Structure 1
Amino acid sequence: MGIGWEDIILGFKRTTRQFLQDILEHITESFVVTDLQGKIVFFNKGSERLFLYRPEEVVGRHIVMLGAPRPNVLQEIRKGNTFRGEISLMRKTGERFPAHVVCVPLRDERGKPMGMMGVAKDLTDEREKEKAEKEIMRLKSFYENLIASLNDGVLIIDGDGRISYVNNRFEEITGYGKAEIVGRHYKHLVAKEALEHFTREIYGETDDSGKNKKTFESTFLTKDKKRIPVLVSSSPLTEGNKKGIIIVITDVTEINALKKELFQSEKMTLLGKLAGEIAHEINNPLGGLIIATQMLIDDLEKRPVSRRKLLKELREIEREASRCRMFIARVLNFARMIPEDKTKVNVHDMIEDALLLVQRQCKLEGIDLIKDFWDGDIFVTGNTSNLQQVVINLVNNAREAILPSAGLIIIRTYLRNDDRKQWACIEINDSGKGIPPEIMDRIFDPFFTTKPNGTGLGLSVSKRIVEEHGGRIIVRSLLGKGSSFVINLPYGEQ
């Protein structure tokens, strides 16, 4: 015979029974009472919230519908024992969840077990928290291992500029061990001449999105004080109230060497294209030399020559020889592999020397080459040979855009103020075919070309050279009307 609620609180006064019932109904935890066969006789509001059943749906039914307890639990209760532990319970929806339960015997007046009282606490939140903590630890370990194994150096600096972390690759690049560098200020890593720029970049103003991710080139010092060129990427790092910066460095020593080889290869290709122009510029003075020499020999053989006439003819020979030597010197200066050092460059002189290699070809093809220079000299800090390469590339592109028709190339120079900077501008305009809009975004891509015999490196190399001078190239083009390439370089000595 089963028991009922009245049996459970038998012996209590009516007011006491009601008081106890009110307490059990309103406690937060789930409180369930069954008989010794497991049939539910009491199901409080805490149980409703936990299992999502109404009392009338469960009272009189076996407790197994709640997913527990296991049969051996009821056996222990019948023996008068208590059960404590974690088990899996089940809601009305079929969802299982972890719970901590305490099941105790309900005894009659003689102390004999007559039912079971069970209290259950949902452990889902705690398990989710534990699961989340384990996942955080797993991800932390994963990312630490990932950063440690990167092929780029990684360092983290705190709010005071002191290094708090470096990865394995950083140790390989710089030669410093973790114990030697962690805790030191980052200024010990950066070359003296690059320190101001490095600091300005990593602590610079944030962009519109509030982020401050920067990528720039710098020079680091290894443990043995060797200078190494590095590409730096920096981003702010915030952890709670702590702020710092994470910095990724890439050793670009080999990349820079390959880049120089690429520039030189493109330069040699350019000289090959200009071979006819070079031959013409040398042949003209050589022809004059030969004629003047033959005339002098003829005069000396046939009749006495006055001192005045002899000096005149010798000066003519000297003039033509000097012209030839000067041109060869300019070609050699352009062609040779020279250091990337930058000096004060007169923009107009640089352009004039570059045009020596292309102006005759333009004339032969019926293309007028017009110079519209700014009044007065314009100076920039740069590498003369590399800047000449850019001008020659752009003029050659303009010439090829005009052919096979006759046309016009205008080279203008001027100064422009923008972004609190003053720019020296070299603008090369042509009356050619223009650039199709669908390829405009690709013209500076390496190896992209629309020419049958093109290398696809001219514009790519030119853009790289200008950017290494702190400048940029702006392109405007109208199909069928022509194109304009504007080289913007920081004005003056940097």
Structure 2
Amino acid sequence: MPPFRSTLATKVFLAFAVLLTAFALLGFFGAKQLGDVGEDLRRITEGHLSLARLAGQLETSQQNLFRDLRRGLDERDPKSRELILRIAAAYFPEVIRSRLDEVRSVAERRLPKEKEATRAAFYRGVIEAVGRLRVEHEELERQIERVLGQSDELAITGARGELDGIERRLRAELFSLGEQIHQETDHAALRADADEKQATLRLAGLTAFALIVIVFSTALVSRELARIRPLVEFARAVSRGDYAQKVPSVGSDELSALALELESMSRGRQEREQELDRQRDELERAYHRVAELKRYHESIVESLRAAVIVTDRDRRVTSLNRAAEMRLLGQRDQALGKLLEELPLGRALALQVGPLAERLTRGGALSLSAAPIPIRDGSEALADVTIAPLEDANGAVLGLVVALEDVTEAVRTKEALIRSERLAAIGRMSAHVTHEIRNPLSSIGLNAELLDDLIGDLVSKDGKPSASAEEEARAICRVIGRETDRLTDITDAYLKFARLPRPQLMSWQPAELLREVATFVRRDLDANRIKLELEISESMSELELDVDQMRQAMLNLVKNAKESMPEGGTLRLAARESEGETQLEVTDSGVGIEASDLDRIFDPFYSSKPTGTGLGLALCQQIVSEHGGRLEVRSLRGQGSTFVIRIPTHRPGPS
């Protein structure tokens, strides 16, 4: 029996049959893999990205709602509070319910399409989370309804606590939902990437098989299959990702079908890669948006005027904002990593609230009002302090958050207001007292004058004037007159203090004012063996002053300085300008002031001298305050005193 010999046509047929089989497998597995990748992409676009977007919108609406609720609860006026709360309750809950419905709708649409148990469980978890969020928001709406119309501050405070609890639970639930969405998105992206790699490997394997068949067929029928070479080159270009190549033109029907198949494969792969690139770009943009949001939140904390310090569980400083760096702790790299108790601020807080380690276990926030704290320059400031544990979504304590708001100027302003009100009350009392005693004083003076006129008629028993009796009577009258003048001076001082006129402001050079005061007091100081020194800058800005009042204040300070140096000494008048204010200083080398008296020396009627009225420094304080400034004193017993008048260089006129 002769051996079987296949014809060239048979070999070509068999070669093409094998080749077509290979490409059929390639098309089948490619289509299947493309379907898997397409399903992954639809899962990401229709499910995960939509859920992530809605979760972000839900978080923003929720933050806006609680921001308006806090602003409403903090409002003192009941009508304003109710208006703000009703607006918040009318708008944001509707938006939040809409977002929750959209999240649930997305999850319910995707749930029937998921055959894998873990993916179906994810969407069921999303639906359950939406249910929990809806329950919490319904509770929140009930709390808002209870607060509306409330005027009892205790009830409002309790409602604020309930709202804070609901907010924490909502944040925790929303954070957990976001984490699930992000994790599932990451898993979906990884699966899509794995499917792509698997498809590439299968396509590469099948393409290699096809090339082997082509090479074998070419070796058998090189001349007939020469026209297939362009198709092979095209297939190789597609496998390299070069989609710019065009399908070569061939003459036979079989080769034409093969060319069309290759072209279809090329388009499918190109479209799939473009879709993957687009989805990758979407994920990158989403990642950048999240990163930008994180930077935005960090920027907000960094720009706060309040100092914010965060520690870990070991109470080591992990972060601080610019206010904490500039005002409290110094260079950031020097404070990071240190125990909070190793820093002056931490030691001061521990003295006031106890061991800071206990704040990690007790839970809840602790607040201090106007607490003294050390600041960077070594001085001390007053701050409202809040110390709270930093917790994660599960309530585990991660560290401490310390927030400090500088209220030094606010406390000083409040104290100045109290002092001003007290001075006003005392002024009214002084005016009343003065009015009551002026008439008796006038009567005493008038009678003293009459008595002086009648002294000339005094005579002795024998009818002759008695010189001794006359002289004695005149001496008594002179004493009465002096005492009357003294009481009149006192009442004038009371009236001047009680009825200090509004300053009549005009532009004036501080240097010229000090020279006038120095000229006026120089002779008196020389007589008391006191050396006068002037320290004046000639290039100072003009001030808006009532010159007569400010001159009176300076003369009162000079008079006090002179009386503190009965044995003589040195008195220095100085004027300088710095940081938007002008400073007028009166410094003496006298006996100084007791530390216990420093807080009282500006109180009306307080005096350490037996003959003083106690109104001199109070009047100075009132004059300086009327000019928008403040009067300060530094003194050590036995080392002298310095009184400083600080007046803003650019000050608005009196209201």
- Given the two structures, how large is their TM-score scaled by the length of structure 2? 0.29
- Given the two structures, how large is their TM-score scaled by the length of structure 1? 0.37
Which is higher, the Rg of structure 1 or of structure 2? 2
